Amino acid sequence: MIAKIEKLLAEIDGISAANLEETEALRLKYLSKKGEINALMADFRNVPAEQKKEVGMKINELKQKATEKINSLREQCQTAQSTEDDIDLTRTAYPVRLGTRHPLTIVKNEIIDIFSRMGFMLADGPEVEDDKHVFTMMNFAADHPARDMQDTFFIETSAEDVAKNIILRSHTSSVQARVMEKTQPPIRIICPGRVYRNEAITARAHCFFHQIEGLYIDKNVSFTDLKQVLLTFSREMFGSETNIRLRPSYFPFTEPSAEMDITCHICGGKGCGFCKHTGWVEILGCGMVDPNVLELCGIDSSVYSGYAFGLGVERITNLKYQVSDLRMFSENDVRFLKEFEAAN
């Protein structure tokens, strides 16, 4: 009996299995009810009394060793099979190149992050709008040139659309109108989105582009508040040495209105070809919300005041990365997009 047990111990030391089926066959051979170790236990009653202790210990050693060996083989086969299952044999042999964020998206997200840190919330609205929210509630006169077919894309799919003057929004101010008509102050929002204008596509203009407009309405809001917000934005976006200047302008929805310039970040305000040797570059329009706009949107202008501003994402991207041709933003040339890998 001892000699047989020693032989099985040596045999188990050398067993191996290439897969789970072979491992199961070994378990059946040694550890099942009809296996060799169970047969030894059946013969144990025939062992002389003086040898039972030694034989019993040997059988237990054999069973423990067989169990550990077979369990180890099973784990190895399961690991190997799992690794094989994880291999996608249909995957291309060539490395898959990762894409990059579009430069407009990079700059848009940076602008949103700056204003979000100043407490502005995001607001969104439809690109297909009606005349009421795009023009009327923004204090555009009925004969204002922006309503003309030369500037605005009109959508005429039904008699109802014609009656309501359904259009592609020409600015994201329509989002401000929708927020103001449904929300009482305080309101502090930014409205990023795509807008459309009926213009010839050139290196400096396009029929669609991207805007981010801001609106703040509360009690005792002043032009000084607007100036400080825009100065903070400019220095966050273009560097701590950036200065701003405000020039009087006109917009139907703000009064007073201004255009804002920043010191040219290429020449530091000394004058160069990029800033046309003035040292200044225009980046946005702004002003105090016209009381008529507040009243048209259901807000009491005798209690509340506010400011608004709007900037073009393409304009800021041009300033930041010096892209000379606006058309490159929409042509999806991967050679152009690849240049912005480091900016992601």
Between CA 262 and CA 165 the distance in angstroms is: 38
Between CA 38 and CA 48 the distance in angstroms is: 19
User: Residues of the chain with pLDDT > 70: what percent?
Assistant: 91
Dig out the tokens for 68 from the structure: 């550990």
Between CA 104 and CA 141 the distance in angstroms is: 33
Residue 70 confidence (pLDDT) above 70: yes
| Average model confidence (pLDDT) across the chain | 85
Dig out the tokens for 131 from the structure: 């005349």
Q: Give Cα 264 distance to the centre of its chain.
A: 30
Query: pTM of the prediction?
Result: 0.67
Residue 156 confidence (pLDDT) above 90: no
User: Residues of the chain with pLDDT > 90: what percent?
Assistant: 37
Q: Which residue has the higher pLDDT, 94 or 338?
A: 338
Between CA 166 and CA 181 the distance in angstroms is: 19
At 331, the pLDDT band (50, 70, 90 cuts) reads: confident
Between CA 248 and CA 152 the distance in angstroms is: 26
Between CA 223 and CA 225 the distance in angstroms is: 5
Residue 176 confidence (pLDDT) above 90: yes
SS3 324: coil
Q: What would the pLDDT profile of 10-46 be if each residue is shown by its tens digit?
A: 888 888 888 888 888 888 887 887 888 777 777 777 7
Residue 112 confidence (pLDDT) above 60: yes
Q: Which residue has the higher pLDDT, 131 or 232?
A: 232
pLDDT of residue 100: 79
